[in-house]
Structure 1
């Protein structure tokens, strides 16, 4: 299995670099919703990763943002690979560096493996259940921020009312908590594990954006919500993940908004 993961790691890096090349040569972009764009790079990267995963893990299923769910050989025993080929497509299209490729593996209703690769930032995150989380080979360990220095990453889902998001910002302001919204939930979750931000909250996130980052945070010592509860794999769920003390301080307040 270790050899297969090494091949997959190389494939993820190659796919991210291919997305960079496609962007440099010009993009065709279509709109799929009020907040979502899809470029030919999204489709190309997902297809490329799907082919590699099928060759390495032929019995497993596949869930991609662009292609949907493909069941494994045996739905009772097969795992599912969950992929967002480009999270932060708007950033990617605009030439910003805050986007990533996200890949996770779910089996027995638990996240087993997670990869997040941000090519423009040269950041490769990986985590395996029970084996820690790493950034470019260095092991990650979450520390609580100093008092008054916490920064929370935010995302906004168009499945939830705008006023709910406004109320959330007001609550964070009254608690003197800084917040940032960078437009790529998978990468913001990864950056909780590395300490660039100290928590991340979004009232609804899809599994392909959430799973890899949640495992990174859990394996680096943070606290995360049980995302896979209530059919989170296919339907998505709220996400709250943070350093341990920040989790305790804000957990109840966030879910009252």
Structure 2
């Protein structure tokens, strides 16, 4: 099977897994508590297992890092999977959740996919080749002055003061904010122009990598997430349009 055919098969598998997640929710969920405001369902595990199975068949030389199953080494690159980002939204019946899949090789994010089934949004990005939403090429543009909107996430691994301090800086710079509860999908929506930036004081790699590549390939500004062993330990995330980047960097200087 050619490389393009393998990627097409993977994209189809991601879509199928997302559509199954919708069906599973209608049948009822088994919910476990992993931590404060952190939940997992049987669907998270089933979706991750299904996507891993497809990747193992298509790319047997590669390894995996999954939110639910941990890391397994491979001879080549590593696939990083979040089966459901925004699990609380998913449990509550909201549409703001997604599947996120990224491929990392030689310390570079090479591929990224984000699928939001209920919104019918399939995002894809390839390093150096561009980013797309449902086949439409994404090109980020600067927002008009005074119209900046940034997405925010809050990690329980960082103090609430991180967000509060940023809100002060955003207000001083006339930047509005939104919080929707799914970091991967918010990153994708920066790439598509729905919001103009995103910040979270700590994201795990399975939440961040696909969305970071989408933003980068759409022409936005991104940090070096993989620095300091970000693949395993996670890192702060801040992405934006060219116009908004200096505002976020001002905050990140204080944050660091």
What is the TM-score of this pair, normalised by structure 1? 0.97
Distance 1:86 1:186 in 2: 10
| Equivalent residues of 2:173, 2:247 under 8 A apart | no
- Give the equivalent residue in structure 2 for 1:202: 200
- Give the equivalent residue in structure 1 for 2:148: 150
| Equivalent residues of 1:168, 1:254 under 8 A apart | no
State which of 84, 92, 109 in structure 2 corresponds to 1:86.
84
Structure 1 residue 239, shift from structure 2 partner: 0.5
State which of 35, 38, 57 in structure 2 corresponds to 1:36.
38
Give the match's secondary structure for 1:85: strand
For 1:67-146, list aligned pairs within 5 A.
67-72=69-74, 74=75, 78-146=76-144
Distance 1:95 1:201 in 2: 25
Residues 151-210 of structure 1: CA distance to partner in whole angstroms, max 9, x if unpaired?
001111111111222222122122211011110000000000000000001111000000
- Give the equivalent residue in structure 1 for 2:23: 21
State which of 168, 171, 179 in structure 2 corresponds to 1:170.
168
Distance 2:97 2:6 in 1: 25
Distance 1:240 1:165 in 2: 12
Give the match's secondary structure for 1:96: coil
Cα RMSD (Å): 0.9
Which has the higher mean CA deviation after the structures are superposed, 134-143 or 245-254?
A: 245-254
Distance 1:61 1:86 in 2: 20
- Give the equivalent residue in structure 1 for 2:67: 65
Which has the higher mean CA deviation after the structures are superposed, 138-147 or 155-164?
A: 155-164
- Give the equivalent residue in structure 2 for 1:247: 245
Q: Between Structure 1 and Structure 2, how many residues are aligned?
A: 253
Give the match's secondary structure for 1:241: strand
Q: Does 1:186 align with 2:184?
A: yes
State which of 213, 216, 228 in structure 1 corresponds to 2:214.
216
Structure 1's unaligned 5+ residue stretches are: none
| Equivalent residues of 1:142, 1:221 under 8 A apart | yes
Distance 1:154 1:208 in 2: 17
Distance 1:168 1:249 in 2: 10
State which of 4, 7, 14 in structure 2 corresponds to 1:5.
7
Give the match's secondary structure for 1:223: coil
